[in-house]
Chains A and B, each alone.
Chain A
Amino acid sequence: MPAAGLIDDDVVTRVLSAALRTGGDFAEVFAEDKRSSSAYLDDGKIEELSSGRDRGAGIRVVVGETTGFAHTADLSETGLLAAAEAAAAAAREGGAGTRTVALTRTEVRHPSPAQIQPSDVAKATKVALLQRADGAARAAGGDIRQVSASYADSRRRILIANSDGLLTGDDQVRTLFTVGAVALGDTGMQTGRESIGHTIGFELFDRYDVEELARAAAERALTKLAARPAPTGELPVVIGPGGGGVLFHEACGHGLEADLIAKGASVFKDRRGEQVASPLVTLVDDGTVATEWGAFGCDDEGTPAQRNVLIQDGILTDYMWDFLRSRKEGRPRSGNGRRQSYQHLPMVRMTNTFILDGPDDPASIVSGTEHGVYVAKLGGGQVNTATGDFVFGMTEAYLIENGEITEPLREGNLIGNGPEVLQNIEAVGNDFEFGPPGTCGKDGQGVPVGDGVPTLRVSKLTIGGSAA
């Protein structure tokens, strides 16, 4: 049991009973113990090592449509009972009563348990990674003026118990490494950034070479020195493998979250069974993909991670669900109930969201584009789910002229409308890759997510460059 030891079973039982005392029809205890460490290098100096510990529990009581919630950093029985009382008081409309909960342990299988706990690795070893990355980035060329690198790991042990008798938990270890480089040339300064992050332990560095990562970041910054302003207006856009998954995260992922659907705040409401995308598009959200950034054993409501096909061959098949929404609809949960920490209520969130391979040869997708933009990497984005309008930044992009990738472009934004873009996908390649680790923000809560795409072409997107 990964989260054993956080709270004793009999204490959990008593706390759930206390939470139900005012007549709640559902109560839940979510306990969390998170330890994290990070190290940061900038300008050749190890600026800082930092260590953190967060531990506490959030207690939720549901009466009808109303949720009461309270959290505490005090995991003693007294502290937990006080939080249970507060949560119950918040949801006090039900009739009083006494219910005893019989808990049944459920073991979940984590898709990628950590092999090497980062806390067992000497701090000096972590620091050495940063210094190697710094050296490799600087060696890439004299125009590299600044290099920064950061290392971060976290181990999050969680326990979830609820009045349906569920008792389960998970042990989530994530390790992240990022390198940033600034190059200076005649046209000013340009930046390059590369990161790797996986839901695994320190064995991350058996799979990846930080020096290679650093060279890639430096090369990116150097390449952009020669970049010209991005064009302005509507153009065909080819998205490169791995680098553009965030397009689908924003363009349709958020709009398929059942909480937004229920409130009418999504353009995909009432569209199940309809052709919402080009038949080339199959969109999957899958928390079970071993080692990916959005992977876990169970979600933050105790539901095991699962693979959910959201769009199959262009047809909208399902939304993503958390406990509250699935209960209301009388359907199973989908393993998408997540929260940033014990201080937050869970809601519907994505895990690893990606487009499956299509039939096309990636090279022919590019060569079949007369004049357009090739986006190798997209930056952060956001969407208005009610209208479907989205925007995101291009962090690495090139011009396509006469079917060939030519000059690098400076940064700019891509904007579009989710439902329109889905219909406008005219080619999907067979070279799927996962992209870099991401943090998805919703209602002020950030959670780790993954995404991925094969090479694909959208017939038109609006590019906001500064070239007149």
Chain B
Amino acid sequence: MSDELLAIADRVIGWAHDGEQVEVVVGKSRSTEIRVYEGDIESLSSAESQGLGVRVVVDGKQGFAYAGSLDPDVLHEVLDEARDNAAFGTPDEFLGLAEPDGVPVPDLDLYRPGLFDVPTDRKVALALDLERAVRAADPRISGIEAAEYADGVSEGVVVTTTGIRATGRDSACYVGAYPLATDDGDTKTGFGFSVGREPSELDVDAAASDAAQRATRLLGAVKPAGGRMTVVLDPYVTAQLIGILAGTMNGEAVLKGRSLFADRLGDEIASSVFTLVDDPTNPLAYTASHTDGEGLATRRNVLVENGVLQKFAHNAYTARRSGTVSTGSAVRGFKSTPGVGCRAVSLVPGTRSQPELLAEVGDGILVSSVAGLHSGVNPVSGDFSTGAEGLRIVDGVLGQPLREFTIASTLQRMLKDVVAVGNDVEWLPMSAAGVSLVLRDISVSGT
């Protein structure tokens, strides 16, 4: 299928004027989404989307345009519009497209044509099986807001006048459920999911037990007393935290004065057990990718090693402006110009399981979910405050469920306050992997 997209991109590139750089990104995707409710199909959507984005750089100025269509009559219009937009940009000597850098494209198996052979009835059955399994998992499950199956196949190409010619495609599927649990007048919610590249890789039972456990384990929760204490973050919470951290460790944030780590390369910013890696070449990551948004090969980047800040993620522009090379970290869809971002960050795991970590902590709180993390973290000042739920840790084991409290610190202090990283790495359908994380001296507000 990529040949068709390459042909479209080549056609537009053929219209480039002398003295201008043109980049064409073409994307196409097919997806299915099935929602079931109380044993019946609630909705079944099937969709095909496509479109292209064109970036023009001329005289050091950049313009962009896109269309959610690949109709032949649209292609020239998009190029013309991007060219016209470039006329209004401010000249910047560092603007320009990526150029081939010789880094080989990783050999990754991200696409399974078998996804297309799975009949719709089978996909519906997976969602229904999951809904049934969650209900059966615990008598306190009082309802299931949604159980769903979704899959998608996407492919994209990046072609430029600077010699980039990248293609990529992948497939993914997912089942997930959002149950409600009720006990003694108290209601709580949970979620569980399983991800794979094709339906045979989905684990419905694991998704069901996660969903039921998350929904039931906070029943009867109370507000904790406030104070400073040690907290253990569940893997899913850690994933959200390191996702935000990684967002401050990129060239764009640094150049724009929006990173608290701007002048800290080479400094010890975290505890020595903290090693943060962005590796989209790891096939275990569901967000793995052959190439980045500018068509360069993805690569493994160590951002923080044993607590020392090693590097920032860069795309072609931020690298040029910072006097370094792209780390293959351009991220974008066809509707925007490339930004910079990490695709697959994870912490290098420690040696202990979560129960072992809890035993070591003795007394504290296990944070099982957070809310409002994005509004509660200021990537410039490092201020950190988020709503949380969890369970009390008493004498090294989990006790009373807790709700409606906040945890607060600053990112700077939290990184230094990392006591241990667990061995329970979980790959999630997001740009960061989860793992249990122990942080000391966190301010907890409650009653």
CB of B387 closer than 8 Å to a CB of A: yes
Q: Do A411 and B50 touch (CB < 8 A)?
A: no
Contacts of A264 in B (CB 8 A): 142-143, 145, 180
Contacts of A230 in B (CB 8 A): 385
CB of A331 closer than 8 Å to a CB of B: no
Contacts of A380 in B (CB 8 A): 372, 374-375
**Interface pick from A39-47, A135-143, A160-168, A309-317:** A39-47
Q: Mark B407-447, 1 if CB is under 8 A from A, else 0.
A: 11110000000000000000000000000000000010111
Question: For residue A417, which residue of chain B has the nearest CB?
Answer: B404
Q: Do B68 and A54 touch (CB < 8 A)?
A: yes
Contacts of B145 in A (CB 8 A): 260, 263-265, 386
Chain A contact residues: helix, strand, loop or mixed: strand
Contacts of A415 in B (CB 8 A): 371-372, 387, 404-406
CB of A360 closer than 8 Å to a CB of B: no
**Interface pick from A211-219, A389-397, A426-434:** A389-397
Contact flag A73-B69 (CB < 8 Å), given A265-B189, A463-B445: yes
Q: Do A52 and B50 touch (CB < 8 A)?
A: no
Min Cβ gap A75→B in Å is 9
Q: Do B387 and A466 touch (CB < 8 A)?
A: no
For chain B, the bracket of interface size reads 35 or more
Contacts of A233 in B (CB 8 A): 226, 445-447
Q: Do B47 and A343 touch (CB < 8 A)?
A: yes
Q: Do A127 and B88 touch (CB < 8 A)?
A: yes
Question: For residue B82, which residue of chain A has the nearest CB?
Answer: A51
CB of A445 closer than 8 Å to a CB of B: no
Q: Out of A71, A412, A468, which one reaches B385, CB within 8 Å?
A: A412
Q: Out of A69, A73, A123, A410, which one reaches B383, CB within 8 Å?
A: A410
Q: Do B337 and A66 touch (CB < 8 A)?
A: no
CB of B42 closer than 8 Å to a CB of A: yes
Give the distance in Å from the alpha carbon of A52 to the alpha carbon of B421 in the complex.
Answer: 44
Contact flag A468-B228 (CB < 8 Å), given A53-B69, A67-B43, A68-B43: yes
CB of B319 closer than 8 Å to a CB of A: no
CB of A65 closer than 8 Å to a CB of B: yes
Q: Mark A335-356, 1 if CB is under 8 A from B, else 0.
A: 0000000010100000000000
Min Cβ gap A324→B in Å is 9
CB of A459 closer than 8 Å to a CB of B: no
Give the distance in Å from the alpha carbon of A393 to the alpha carbon of B379 in the complex.
Answer: 14
Q: Which A residues, 353 to 388, have Cβ-Cβ distances below 8 Å to chain B?
A: 379-382, 384, 386-387
CB of A132 closer than 8 Å to a CB of B: no
**Interface pick from A23-31, A182-190, A199-207:** A182-190
Min Cβ gap A380→B in Å is 4
Question: For residue B389, which residue of chain A has the nearest CB?
Answer: A389
Contacts of B375 in A (CB 8 A): 379-381, 391-393, 413
Give the distance in Å from the alpha carbon of A39 to the alpha carbon of B88 in the complex.
Answer: 9
Q: Do B372 and A232 touch (CB < 8 A)?
A: no
Q: Do B256 and A56 touch (CB < 8 A)?
A: no
Q: Do B64 and A48 touch (CB < 8 A)?
A: yes
Min Cβ gap B208→A in Å is 18
Q: Do B189 and A46 touch (CB < 8 A)?
A: no
Q: Out of B66, B337, B371, B403, which one reaches A382, CB within 8 Å?
A: B371
For chain A, the bracket of interface size reads 35 or more
Interface centre among A232, A263, A413 (most CB of B within 10 A): A413
Give the distance in Å from the alpha carbon of A46 to the alpha carbon of B385 in the complex.
Answer: 34
Give the distance in Å from the alpha carbon of A86 to the alpha carbon of B389 in the complex.
Answer: 43
Contact flag A54-B67 (CB < 8 Å), given A146-B258, A232-B226: yes
Give the distance in Å from the alpha carbon of A54 to the alpha carbon of B66 in the complex.
Answer: 9
Contacts of A190 in B (CB 8 A): 380-381
CB of B101 closer than 8 Å to a CB of A: no
Contacts of B146 in A (CB 8 A): 263
Q: Do B376 and A413 touch (CB < 8 A)?
A: yes
CB of B49 closer than 8 Å to a CB of A: yes
Contacts of A184 in B (CB 8 A): 257
Q: Mark A221-258, 1 if CB is under 8 A from B, else 0.
A: 00000000010111000000000000000000000000
Q: Do A45 and B90 touch (CB < 8 A)?
A: yes
Q: Do B46 and A90 touch (CB < 8 A)?
A: yes
Q: Out of B69, B223, B408, which one reaches A412, CB within 8 Å?
A: B408
Q: Mark B140-152, 1 if CB is under 8 A from A, else 0.
A: 0011011000000
Question: For residue B447, which residue of chain A has the nearest CB?
Answer: A234
Q: Do B258 and A232 touch (CB < 8 A)?
A: no
Q: Do B68 and A345 touch (CB < 8 A)?
A: no
Q: Which B residues, 168 to 194, have Cβ-Cβ distances below 8 Å to chain A?
A: 180, 187-189
CB of A17 closer than 8 Å to a CB of B: no
Q: Which B residues, 37 to 89, have Cβ-Cβ distances below 8 Å to chain A?
A: 37, 40-51, 62-69, 71, 74, 78, 81-82, 84-86, 88-89
Write 19 A-B pairs (CB below 8 A) sorted by A numbering: A47-B92, A48-B85, A50-B65, A52-B68, A68-B44, A69-B46, A71-B49, A127-B88, A146-B257, A189-B380, A232-B443, A233-B226, A379-B375, A382-B371, A390-B387, A410-B383, A412-B408, A417-B404, A466-B409
Given contacts A52-B68, A386-B180, 6 further A-B contacts (CB under 8 A): A44-B90, A49-B86, A49-B89, A69-B45, A188-B382, A233-B226
Closest 9 CB pairs of A and B: A464-B406, A393-B375, A391-B387, A391-B372, A49-B85, A90-B44, A232-B445, A45-B90, A54-B68
